[in-house]
Amino acid sequence: LNPEQLLYAETHEWVHLEDKGGQKIATVGITAHAVEQLTDLVYMELPQPGSSVSSGTSFGEVESVKATSNLYSPVTGEVVEVNSDLPDNLERLNSDPYGSAWIMRVRVTDEDALAKLMNHTAYAKQIAG
């Protein structure tokens, strides 16, 4: 995916939106900036497919050598798919954060929450500032 065409949450998750059969599906991952700051990732816990996630609330956790952090969902909806290979291949977060290191796909049920997301330019400004 092209990072310039994605949407971003303040909490450093990216979102790719697409329409599938009239439903809005969001693919979610964490940004290269977040991965760089975390360093030495050792563990990741994903949500269960079928579970609900809400914008701004925790959907998973990631452990680096020295810090455990919650992952916050940038969208509200139902988890329809998770990247179950990712926890065993965490190096993908470094090598391909916007591609094979996607974390979950969510069927969006509240499109209003999407208004809070930033475009690439605004996100780049946030991490620069």
Partner 1 sequence: MAVDQMLLDQAGASPDALPTLRFYRWKPATLSLGYFQTLESRNSHLASSGLDVVRRTTGGGAIVHDRELTYSLTLPLADRWAAAHRLLYDLVHQAIIAVLDQYGIVAGQYVRGSDWRDPASDRDFLCFLRRTQGDIVLKGYKVGGSAQRRSATALLQHGSILLGKSGYAPELPGICDLSIRSPDDKSLISGIIKELSAKLDVEPEIPDQTDWECKTTRNWQLSRFGNDGWTGKR
- Cβ proximity to partner 1: between 68 and 95 the closer is 68
Of 15-23, 59-67, 75-83, 110-118, which segment contacts partner 1 by CB under 8 A?
A: 59-67
32 binds partner 1 (CB under 8 A): no
- Ramachandran region of residue 104, left (φ > 0), alpha (ψ -120 to 50) or beta? beta
Interacting residue with partner 1 among 38, 46, 101, 106 (CB under 8 A): 38
Of the candidates 83, 76, 98, the residue with the CA atom closest to the CA atom of residue 5: 98
Interacting residue with partner 1 among 52, 54, 69, 100 (CB under 8 A): 69
Of 41-49, 78-86, 95-103, 106-114, which segment contacts partner 1 by CB under 8 A?
A: 41-49
Given a contact cutoff of 8 angstroms between Cβ atoms, the answer to whether 15 and 6 are in contact is yes
Residue reference for tokens 């303040």: 10
Task: Please count the other Cβ atoms lying within 10 Å of the Cβ belonging to residue 125.
Answer: 10
What 3-state class would DSSP assign to 79?
A: strand
Of 19-27, 34-42, 97-105, 117-125, which segment contacts partner 1 by CB under 8 A?
A: 34-42
